[in-house]
Structure 1
Amino acid sequence: MANVLLSTSHLLLSSNKQVKGFQTNIQRSYFTTKFLVEKTSFVGRKASKRSTGCRFLVSSRFGREADQKIETVIPDPDYRIPVVLLGLAGGLAYTDNLLAAAPVGLLGLLLLFQTTRVRFVFDGEALEVKVGDQLQESGENVFVGGKNRWKYSTFVNWELWWPNFPILVYFKETQTKPEGQVHFFPVIFNGKQLYDTMVERAGPSKTSGPKQ
C-alpha cells in the first residue's frame, strides 16, 4: 500500500513538472512569437518609411526636372521692314521712278504677308520655322531641301545684321550637310527677342544685341 502511495505521489509530482514544463514552453513560444511579430512589424514600418521616402525622392526629382524644362519661345512679329519698304516704294512712285518702285513694293508686300504668318519657334533643342497662328508645319526648305528645323547643337555660327535695326539673321548649320549650310532670313520678328533667344540657345554671336 505504501508503495502504491509513493508511486502515485511520484506520478503526480512528475505530472506537475511536465505540466509546468509544458506551460513554460508555451510561454516561451508565445514571447518568442510576439517578439518576432513585433520585430517584423517594426522592420515592415521601417521598410514602408524607406519606400515612402524613395517615392518622395523620385517625385521630387521628376518635379525638379519638370520645373527645369526649357520653355518654347516664339518672338513677336515686327512689321518695320515691310512698312519701310512699302514707304520707299511709295516715295519712288511719287517721283515717277516706277521701274525701281515696282520690285521694292513687291518685296514689301511679300514681307508684309510673311510677317503675318511665318514664325520662328525655339523649343528645347531646335529652331523650327512654322506658319500660321496654329503653328503648322512649313514643309521642306524650297532652296536646300529638308525640314525647316535645325538643332542648336549643329549651329556653327550666326549673326544678326544690324543690331540697332535688324534686317537679316544669318546662321550656318551642319545638320543639312556636313560641310555646313548657310541660311538667311529677313528679321520680321522682334529683333531683341530674336537675339536674346539665339544667344541663350545657340551661344553668343560676334555682333552686339539690338538696343532697347
Structure 2
Amino acid sequence: MESTLLSLSRFFPSQNKQVSRLVRTFQSSFYGKMTSTNSSLMRRNISSSGNRSSFLISSVLGKKIKKETVVPEPDYRFPIVLLGFAGGLVYADNLLAAVPVGLLGLLLLVQTTRVRFIFDEEALEVKIGEQLEESGENFFVGGKNRWKYATFVNWELWWPNFPILVYFKETQTKPEGQVHFFPVIFNGKQLYDVMVERCGPSQTSAPKES
C-alpha cells in the first residue's frame, strides 16, 4: 500500500506534500503497531520460557532421584578354586587338609547359588534365593542383615583382581562399630562399583579399581 501511495505522488505533483504526509503517517502507524506487537510477543515468550525454566529447575531440585536396586551376579570362581585345591590335596594323599578345604568349597558353592547382596536406595541387605526372601537375624551378632550406608565407617575389598573377602564396619549394630566379613561369591567388579557409589571411599585404604 505504501508503494502505491508513493507512485500516486509522482502523478500528482501539486499534492506531493499531502501525499508525503499521508505516507509518513501510515509508516509511523504501521511500524508502531508492528513494534508494539513484537514487543508484547517477546515479553510473552520470555515470560513463558522463564516459567518453563523455573518449573524445570524447581522440579529437578525438588524431586529426589531414586537410585535403582543393584544385585551383583553370583561368581563361582572362589568355591571352584577351593574344590580344585581340595582335589589336589587328595591327589597328594593329604586327606587331613583336603577334607576341611573341600567342605569349605562345597559350602561356598551352595551359598553362591542362594545368598544375594541387595543394594537398594539406602541400605545393603542380605537375602536368600531367587525370590529374595528374608535371611533372618545375623547368626553372630544378632539383628537384621540390613545395614544403612550412612552407618558405614570403613570397608575393604581385598585382592580386587581376584576378590576373596569383603569387609565393612558399621555403627548401626552397636555405637562403637561392628565388623563384618563375607566371602566374595559375587561379581567382584559389580560389587566394588556399587560399594564405591553407595558407601563412598574407604577411610583407610579403599581398594584400587582393577
Specify if TM > 0.5: yes
Name the counterpart of 1:81: 78
Q: Tell me by how many angstroms 1:61 deviates.
A: 2.9
Distance in 1 separating the partners of 2:148 and 2:208: 22
- Alignment of 1:135 with 2:157, yes or no, is no
Q: Deviations over 1:55-93 (max 9, x none)?
A: xx59x838x837x21000000100010000000000000
Distance in 2 separating the partners of 1:169 and 1:179: 20
Residue from 117, 124, 136 that aligns with 1:120:
117
Conserved in 1, the CA contact under 8 Å of 2:171 and 2:178?
yes
Name the counterpart of 1:97: 94
**202-211 or 143-152, which moves further after superposition?**
202-211
Change (3 A) 1:113 1:210: farther
Name the counterpart of 1:23: none
Q: Tell me by how many angstroms 1:172 deviates.
A: 0.3
Unaligned runs of 5+ in 1: 1-52
Conserved in 2, the CA contact under 8 Å of 1:152 and 1:201?
yes
Change (3 A) 1:189 1:209: farther
Q: Please state whether the residue corresponding to 1:91 is helix, strand or coil.
A: helix
Superposition pairs of residues 47-62 of structure 1, within 5 angstroms:
57=55, 61=59
Superposition pairs of residues 55-204 of structure 1, within 5 angstroms:
57=55, 61=59, 65=63, 68-204=65-201
Q: What letter matches 2:207 in structure 1?
A: S
Distance in 2 separating the partners of 1:209 and 1:122: 21
Q: Tell me by how many angstroms 1:210 deviates.
A: 4.5
Please tell me the root mean square deviation across aligned C-alpha atoms, in Å: 2.3
Q: Please state whether the residue corresponding to 1:159 is helix, strand or coil.
A: strand
Distance in 1 separating the partners of 2:206 and 2:96: 35
Distance in 2 separating the partners of 1:65 and 1:162: 39
Q: Name segments (4+ residues, structure 1) moved above 6 Å.
A: none
Conserved in 2, the CA contact under 8 Å of 1:195 and 1:209?
no
Q: Tell me by how many angstroms 1:207 deviates.
A: 3.2
Q: What letter matches 2:70 in structure 1?
A: V
Q: Please state whether the residue corresponding to 1:208 is helix, strand or coil.
A: coil
Q: Choose 1 or 2 for highest CA Rg.
A: 1
| Identity in percent | 77
Name the counterpart of 1:207: 206
Name the counterpart of 1:11: none
Q: Structure 1-normalised TM-score?
A: 0.69
Distance in 2 separating the partners of 1:110 and 1:210: 28
Distance in 2 separating the partners of 1:103 and 1:140: 26
